[in-house]
Amino acid sequence: FQNSVRQSQHVCAGEQVYVQKRKQVVLQSLNSLGINCSEDSVPHIALLGSGGGQRAAVALLGSLHQMKKDGLLDSVLYLGGVSGSTWSMSSLYSDPQWSVKIDTAVQTIVSSMTGPDVEWKEAWSWLSDRVKKEDFSLTDIWGALISSTIMKKMDLRRLSDEASRNATNPYPIYCAVEKYFFSEGSVDGKWFEVSPHEAGFTDLGLFIETSLLGSKLQGEKARIDMVKLQGICGSALADGETDIETITDYILKWLSEIFGFGLAVLRWLYDCMKNMMFSYEELLHRPFGPGDLAAEEKESLYGDLHQLIAHAKDTTKDRAILSDLEKLQQLLEDEHKTLRKESESKSLQRKESDDQQGSQQLSLESGGLITDGTFIMKVIHLLRKWEWGTTNNFLYKYQNSSLPPCLHTKESFHLVDAGLLVNVAYPSFLGDKRDIDLIIALDYSAGNAFETLTVARDYAAELKKPFPEIDEKILEEKDWPKDCYVFEGKKKEPTIVFMPLFNRNNCKDAEEVTAKMSEFSTFQLPYSQDQIVFLLKTGKENMKRNKETLLREFKKAAERRRSRKSVLQRISQSCLLSLV
Ligand SMILES: *[C@@H]1O[C@H](CO)[C@@H](O)[C@H](O)[C@H]1NC(C)=O
Ligand SMILES: *[C@@H]1O[C@H](CO)[C@@H](O)[C@H](O)[C@H]1NC(C)=O
Ligand SMILES: *[C@@H]1O[C@H](CO)[C@@H](O)[C@H](O)[C@H]1NC(C)=O
């Protein structure tokens, strides 16, 4: 990809053109709000949604809806998202005119979210295609899971197809982090952004066309779709700190529903493969394992498992999986022998109690698990390794001695949820690149209200990027924050309007904030209809109450842009004069 990589600290041509067109829309909007502004001094306003699973996804919809009603939305140049916010962002942008007809757009997404799950065949059709790819990872499973059980739509639209759209909507930026850099690399390799035009490392300034992200070979266009993108952006679980066993169960349960395949068997297979050291006695008494089944059922289960494993062995060339399968096969054989002996000795007793069988029928026929034996083995293998976000590395063998070696020596890197680092998309909007005057940060994060903000401040300091000052006194309000704070940018710093979801206006005290956060906790998916309605309303009300503040900040941003422009003009004029 040597020739496809763009190394630069500036926005790409495609984004520049889009932004230029979008400024016409912004200009009209600001003028209609009574803000004095001309074509060459349109302020750069970015609206950023945070992580927070479905809580963030829904509240963002409410906030955007209200901004449109108040005539503020069209003044926004950029929309940036991490994690949960990206789930609803990607759904909104499936309508190229969403910000013009936002009532319909929001309604469509909400009725989808409160409607039935996606049919398993549709999810499977997507997954069975993905599993063939070398970069198949848990992120694919997670993307399909989010799409089919939370957003309830398998959105196969490609982000790169949006590159040719007109400027009806703010320019979208989706964010992720690279896992290696996130945990041990230098700070400038961490943040990763994906726009309709380009994808790449924000601070290293290394990008590739979005249609090429994930491609393995020159000339191939992987063109990731929204299902995959939602999986990448919303994979906060990838850090391995969230309770792995619970999430594993959650994933296995979903797969078992898709395939009509017993959860017990999946769990048991997983446990076997995870812990190859089990003795067969232990295996027999696994809590959900075949230990709970009657002898005939065990007999037939082992038969089926043998078949499954034998088939999986025939269809995979992956050496790690083959070796797992062989160990598993050996285990099964040992156990099977024991089972035979046991059932012979018990057969006399059993004749007397014929009535207590058939309670757990396990069907291995359905769903294509047998025909795609490798699928389930691959998933289990990935669960054991907890492997997420595998993406073919467009910088592999890229020649530039100034790059960190880990970037061009590995065939793939791993993209995971940006919320693990900074739960609001600030990093893409700091510094000269997008030259932002005003950031509206809609923070739906859990925990300490200012955590993300202060993490972003420290991140900016590390990279020497301007960030407004945050008065330490304000941080004392962390458990029961106001609904809106303005952190004013003086010179190069953007101004930040910071709006926490649960606050003094909708919670009577700190306890209620905590209670609300646990009622709408991030990992209880999916939300009920009542919860969704409540969150939409909360998002709207927060916006509505602060309309005047936003208007005032829009105005200041326009003034600042104008005065900066005139300073620049004066400087360049005096340069010219001195040359003369
Ligand atoms: C708008 O800005 C222009 C340029 O700075 C100025 O000449 C004009 O008086 C302003 N108009 C209003 C209504 O403030
Ligand atoms: C974008 O295209 C749509 C549909 O063709 C059109 O209705 C709309 O006015 C255009 N918007 C802008 C900002 O150019
Ligand atoms: C290598 O990186 C440096 C510094 O980032 C840059 O100026 C130069 O153009 C790059 N070289 C190539 C061949 O891309």
Neighbours of 277 (CB within 10 A): 7
User: Is the Cβ atom of 400 under 6 angstroms away from ligand 3?
Assistant: yes
Tokens, residue 136: 């198949």
Is 420 a residue whose pLDDT tops 70? Answer: yes
| Closest of 268, 225, 54, 230 to residue 125, by C-alpha | 225
Is 411 a residue whose pLDDT tops 50? Answer: yes
Is residue 2 within 8 Å of residue 208, measured between CB atoms? no
Residue scoring higher pLDDT (292 or 36): 36
Neighbours of 230 (CB within 10 A): 30
| Closest of 443, 383, 467 to residue 137, by C-alpha | 383
User: Is the Cβ atom of 36 under 6 angstroms away from ligand 1?
Assistant: yes
How close is the Cα of 64 to the center of ligand 2, in Å?
A: 20
Condensed to tens digits (0 to 9), the pLDDT of residues 212-267 reads 999 988 788 999 999 999 999 999 888 877 778 888 888 888 887 876 656 666 77
User: Is the Cβ atom of 168 under 6 angstroms away from ligand 3?
Assistant: no
Q: What is the pLDDT of residue 535?
A: 97
Ligand nearest to the CA of residue 7, numbered in listed order: 3
User: Is the Cβ atom of 402 under 6 angstroms away from ligand 3?
Assistant: yes
Is 198 a residue whose pLDDT tops 90? Answer: yes
Q: Looking only at Cα atoms, what is the longest distance across the chain?
A: 112
Tokens, residue 318: 């992956």
Ligand nearest to the CA of residue 166, numbered in listed order: 2
Condensed to tens digits (0 to 9), the pLDDT of residues 273-288 reads 666 544 444 544 554 4
- Identify the three-state secondary structure at position 221: coil
Phi and psi based region of residue 38 (left: phi greater than 0; alpha: psi -120 to 50; beta: remaining): beta
- Rounded Cα distance between 181 and 287, Å, is 39
Residue 115, phi then psi, degrees to nearest 5: -90, -165
User: Is the Cβ atom of 149 under 6 angstroms away from ligand 2?
Assistant: no
- Rounded Cα distance between 338 and 169, Å, is 66
Condensed to tens digits (0 to 9), the pLDDT of residues 369-397 reads 444 556 777 788 888 889 999 999 999 98
User: Is the Cβ atom of 569 under 6 angstroms away from ligand 1?
Assistant: no
User: Is the Cβ atom of 529 under 6 angstroms away from ligand 1?
Assistant: no
- Residue 390 pairs with which residues in a beta bridge? 414
Q: How confident is the model at residue 353 (pLDDT cuts 50, 70, 90)?
A: very low
Is residue 47 within a helix (H) or strand (E), and if so which, with residue range? strand 45-49
Angle at 299 between CA 298 and CA 302, to 5 degrees: 80
- Average pLDDT score over residue span 91-112: 96
In this structure, which long-range contacts are made by residues 354-360, counting pairs with CB atoms below 8 Å and at least 24 apart in sequence?
356/294, 357/294, 357/296, 357/297, 359/294, 360/262, 360/264, 360/292, 360/293, 360/297
Give nearest CA residue, ligand 3 atom 9: 7
Q: Which among 36, 38, 556, 567 is the best mutation to test ligand 1's pocket, defined by most ligand atoms within 8 Å of the CB?
A: 36
